[in-house]
Chains A and B, each alone.
Chain A
Amino acid sequence: MLFGSPTIYAVDVITNITADTASVTTTQLRRIYSMRQVKWANGVPITIFVLSSTHTTHQKFCKETLHLFPYQLDRIWNKLTFSGMGIAPTVVKTEEELIKAVKSTTGAIGYIENIDEVSDVNLLKIDE
């Protein structure tokens, strides 16, 4: 394993309530963010929101939660976007915008850090 097995994550993963899921595994999150799983188990399409690849929260999420480096995700997303084979996540500027986008978009997923209270979204438990 790349970075050991952290069990406490500084970055929380949130989804729109339509995702209808309470927990995910690390491998499932990797699948989702590398665009290899595009629908939730209930059939709702997954829409991904991310912060820019140089944002500290994004870097923490990639390394500590996904066990990937940000440039690896950039590479996957660029390949999909510029070959026509898929679409990349939507990049937002701030965590507040990300929460707003996840709340208002069916099937959306995102991540947040150091935000104490967030309502009307699912806060996912991450299993190893």
Chain B
Amino acid sequence: MSICLKLMNKMSYRLMCLSALFTFNAIAQDDYSAEPLKIHGFVAQGAIDVDGSNFVNNDGELSFKLTEIGLNTSYQISDDFRFAAQAVFLNGGNRYNEGIRVDYFLMDWNAYSSEQWQANLFVGRIKNTHWLHSSTRDIPFARPSIILPQGAYFDGFRDIAVGGDGAALKLTYNNDEYGEFDFNFSRGKSPINRDDAEVILSKLAQGNIEHGLDAQASFYWRPVFSQWKFGLTLLDSEFNYKSEILDFFVDGRFVFQFYTMNALYEGEQWEFTTELLQTRFKTEGFYVPQFGQDNLGQGSSFQLRYKIDQKLTLISRYDIFYTDKDDKNGRKLESRSNGLVPNYFGYQHDAMLGFSYDFADDFRVNAEYHWVEGAARLNPIVLPNSLVNNKERWDMWAVQFMYWF
């Protein structure tokens, strides 16, 4: 009975969200002038089936935990000041916590504007716009596939990586000879609640993890009239774990640094994307007081898209990730853990094929199949679950329908 009531509550909640979205859409469609208030949103629901890992669930059954709903607003207060906010509801099973998040809630000050230069300062909760897909990672119709390459866009880090409370500076420069240049810099910290800590650290962690003020920067360049765009991104962050009296873990400190280089080619039918990344993951304490580890991880992804016509697009991608570039086969990891953590937790490679089909300007279906080798990007990463993830090779398929306005 209580299960039925819970299900009904969840259904009513989703129906309320949907009806609110359609109401806002009706308002938004009447907006034909330079109204200061803009409202946009999306709703997506899908099915995902994973065979051989706990990526979405522990039982391997078909799951409908592929729900993404979002609503945002922008209000132009004056020529130079604007307010913007977005809330999303996500349900991705083990990938991240089910629930509502405030993705951004910010004031935008257009500090300088000319034909060549733009300078904007954002203050509040800022979304991460540094990486190629970071700002659209949970916007179903604006990302290339349902599941993004986990080397760079690991879902377990979603709530930490998606943005934080702080400030960001965006500078754009246009040169008729050399092209378009973007420079972004931000500082912020992400609130991490108890549920987030469980996803990343495991249910055994009783203490609190706090995100220190991180620093991020990115630089993008598109040569004049070019179909290519190139980018560089940098992230430096630190996390501190404060254990409880009765806790499986002790106090600890984590340093996470992340550097990427990317290139994007946008042709009429062909599109090519690549991202190369290096991570530094330093751990002090946490497992036992004397513990110390400093790993350099590496990864890369290569993606091709082909637009058959205006409605149908094919996609293929290969994503490679190593937790430790000096232990690519994971043998040292297995040896250090006395065999408790199998070697395949040291890497994760994913080959993907899929397509998207547009039924209308605002209604699409995405479908994809993944062949995965390794378990380095399965939650919780600090205490790998080798009982459930007992296969080196696993695969999954997913289908998701999406509507936006």
Contact = CB atoms under 8 A, between A and B. Distances in A.
B142 interface: yes
Given A31-B115, A38-B118, A82 B32 contact: no
Contacts of A38: 110, 113, 118
Nearest to B78: A45
B50 to A, nearest CB: 27
Interface of B: 31-34, 38, 40, 42, 70, 72, 74, 76, 79, 82, 84-86, 103-104, 106, 108, 110, 113-115, 118, 120, 122, 126-127, 129, 135-136, 139, 141-142, 170, 172, 174, 176, 180, 224-227, 266, 268, 307, 310, 361
B104 A83 contact: yes
Given A45-B79, A78-B136, A54 B34 contact: no
A38 B109 CA distance: 13
Q: Nearest 10 pairs between A and B by C-beta?
A: A83-B135, A84-B84, A84-B104, A78-B142, A47-B34, A82-B139, A83-B127, A105-B34, A39-B113, A1-B225
B122 A84 contact: yes
Nearest to B182: A36
Contacts of A27: 174, 176, 224-225
Contacts of A23: none
B33 A28 contact: no
Contacts of A125: none
Given A36-B174, A38-B113, A39-B113, A82 B86 contact: yes
Interface in A1-36: 1-2, 25, 27-28, 31, 34, 36
Nearest to A54: B361
Nearest to A104: B33
Nearest to B225: A1
Contact of B115 (A37, A75, A85): A37
Given A34-B180, A82-B70, A85-B120, 13 more contacts: A25-B176, A31-B174, A36-B118, A36-B180, A37-B174, A38-B110, A78-B141, A78-B142, A79-B136, A81-B74, A82-B40, A87-B38, A87-B82
Nearest to A16: B34
A69 B266 contact: yes
Contacts of A107: 34
B371 to A, nearest CB: 28
9 contacts: A31-B174, A38-B118, A45-B79, A67-B225, A78-B141, A82-B40, A84-B84, A84-B106, A101-B33
Contact of A79 (B33, B142, B227): B142
B30 to A, nearest CB: 11
A67 B38 CA distance: 28
Contacts of B141: 78
Interface string A58-89: 00000000010101100100110111111110
A30 to B, nearest CB: 8
B140 to A, nearest CB: 10
Contacts of A87: 38, 74, 76, 82
Contact of A53 (B127, B135, B361): B361
A85 B122 contact: yes
A2 B225 contact: yes
Contacts of B172: 36
A10 to B, nearest CB: 18
A89 B135 CA distance: 19
B32 A90 contact: yes
